[in-house]
Amino acid sequence: MALPKFILGDNTDFPNATFIVHTEFPRFIINLENDEVEWLEEFDKEDQKELEAEAENYIKAANDFYDREVARYEDE
């Protein structure tokens, strides 16, 4: 199955939270309510260095995705 790079989600157990799931490496979930990130990968030291360098870009891309999706809902 082909998955989109980002998936927007919510959960009634967290009524104020909106989640974005990043499905490609490095996989993570970000909670937009508090910007908490849960990494779904285990990283070795080499990956950790790359992650630290790129984490801001991944999180910005997730926020850009959310803004685009919300704008599309508002245009309907």
Per-residue pLDDT of the chain (76 residues; tens, 9 = 90+): 999 999 999 999 999 999 999 999 889 999 999 999 999 988 888 878 788 778 889 899 999 999 999 999 887 7
pTM: 0.84
Q: Are 5 and 14 in contact (CB under 8 A)?
A: no
Rounded CA-CA distance 13/62 in Å is 22
Please tell me whether the peptide bond between 26 and the residue prior to it is cis, using omega within 30 degrees of 0. Answer: yes
CB atoms within 10 A of CB 58: 16
**Residue in the block written with tokens 């998955």:** 3
